[in-house]
Amino acid sequence: MEQIDVQKKMAGKKAVDYIKDGMTIGLGSGSTVYWMMKRLGELVKEGLDIKGIPSSLRTEGWAKQFGVPLTDFSNTQQLDLAIDGADEVDPQFNLIKGGGGSLVREKIVNTASKKLIIIIDESKLVDQLGAFSLPVEVVQFGYEATALQISKLGCEPVLRMNGKEPFVSNNGNFILDCPFRVINHPEQLNDDIKSVVGVVETGLFLGMTDLVIVGKDACVEVLENS
């Protein structure tokens, strides 16, 4: 296993320490979340009584594979805890997410949760957001016009592809990857992008993270948002 995967596994496995009996859990997306799901499945087999709401079809598949019981928003609108990955985390615990294209469902799930824990490998910690191209989910119709409007905010959006076809999110939308390179004012940028017609959601997750678990080579570091 590569070192980065070892770090993801360390972070994912540590996160389940925060899950308590009776909780409803937001289940994030991505390769780090995979390890959390695997460990959570083991704990459920040992008797842990929880329910989860998955933030992607892929995570839903893992839940079924590992035996993690699921529920949905028709049964509960507030979750106790959400555990999710990230593509970048800055010192203020602001995030870029959506590298896997699940940002809309993730933002709905994480916003509905009382607490958000982010699990990452070391490479995700950055001084400033923006080196990772910001994913923005947009409706398919007229996406070229939507991209033009976003470009006026300081980047050249790239339509995400899946082979020769555009990538389509679990919500049936396209993703524009927006290379801003340096994001100095994330709140303002988020507002500006969201005001563009055709934009569904941005991958900026601001002021929502309570705890970051960073997987390192032989340990984990837990960073608390004070």
Ligand X SMILES: O=C[C@H](O)[C@H](O)[C@H](O)COP(=O)(O)O
Annotated binding site for substrate: 29-32, 84-87, 97-100, 124
* Residue 54 lies near ligand X (rule: CB under 6 A): no
> Site mask, ligand X, residues 17-46, x = CB under 6 A?
-----------xxxxx--------------
> Site mask, ligand X, residues 88-117, x = CB under 6 A?
---------xxxxxxx--x-----------
For residue 40, give both structure tokens.
């959570």
- Name the catalytic one among 2, 42, 46, 106: 106
3-state secondary structure (DSSP) of residue 76: coil
2 catalytic residue (yes or no): no
- Minimal CB distance to ligand X: which residue? 30
Nearest-CA neighbor of 54 among 110, 99, 96? Answer: 110
Contact 77, 114 (CB under 8 A): no
Phi and psi at 46, nearest 5°, equal -80, -5
For residues 27 and 25, what is the distance between their CA atoms, to the nearest angstrom? 6
Nearest approach, Cβ of residue 169 and ligand X (Å): 9
In one letter, which amino acid is 201?
E
Contact 92, 118 (CB under 8 A): no
Nearest approach, Cβ of residue 57 and ligand X (Å): 12
- Active-site annotation, residues: 106
Q: Give residues in contact with ligand X (CB under 6 A).
A: 28-32, 84-87, 97-103, 106
